[in-house]
Amino acid sequence: MSYSINLTVNDRSCKVTLDDPRVTLLDLLRERLQLSGTKKGCDRGQCGACTVLVDNRRINSCLTLAVTLDGASITTIEGLAREGELHPVQEAFLAHDGLQCGYCTPGQIMSAVGLIAEGQAGDDRERIREGMSGNLCRCSAYVGITEAVCDATRRMNAATDTERKSA
Ligand code: FES
Ligand code: FES
């Protein structure tokens, strides 16, 4: 038996047929949709390397069955940059050396985008560390990651304020 689902992935609609209902979103992205920017670390919900946004909420794609996502909108690391411009969180990771080997970085960045959208942490470093605690970094680049999230939060909030004032 096969299952068809409709998804929007990085603003593009696609229809996917699954032969096996056990296919995870992570494997669908990497192996069927050629979006290999999302990384497989532990494949069991412990490292956060596979973090993507589903309907603007961050999730571990290795724990999510693709078949449950009919109609969902998914954003991966490949969908963050716009018209050749990096997303402010991507820029901040570069500016603050928020990466070393880079393997955890797509997951860290997607988690940071989700955290900032949740508005829970602001630019409080302790709350950022707590909010990002599901994303492990074996290179221990945590200082740079925290600074990057802090800086991106400030820049994105300032941009939103400017937009509001000019509206
Ligand atoms: Fe999904 Fe580690 S690969 S949490
Ligand atoms: Fe290497 Fe995080 S930068 S695992």
Q: How far apart are CA 135 and CA 17, in angstroms?
A: 30
Please provide residue 7's backbone torsions phi and psi, each rounded to the nearest 5 degrees.
Answer: -130, 155
Mean pLDDT by 10 residues, the chain (167 residues): 96 97 98 98 98 98 98 98 96 98 98 95 94 98 98 93 83
Angle at 47 between CA 45 and CA 48, to 5 degrees: 80
Compute, in angstroms, the gap from residue 37 CA to the centroid of ligand 2. 14
Structural domains of the chain ordered from first start: 3-79 (3.10.20.30), 88-166 (1.10.150.120)
pLDDT digits (tens, 9 = 90+) for 95-130: 999 999 999 999 999 999 999 999 988 889 999 999
Q: Whose CA is nearest to atom 2 of ligand 2?
A: 137
**Position 138, amino acid:** R
Q: Which residues line ligand 2 (CB under 6 A)?
A: 99-105, 137-139, 141
Q: How far apart are CA 121 and CA 130, in angstroms?
A: 9
Angle at 89 between CA 14 and CA 164, to 5 degrees: 90
Compute, in angstroms, the gap from residue 37 CA to the centroid of ligand 1. 13
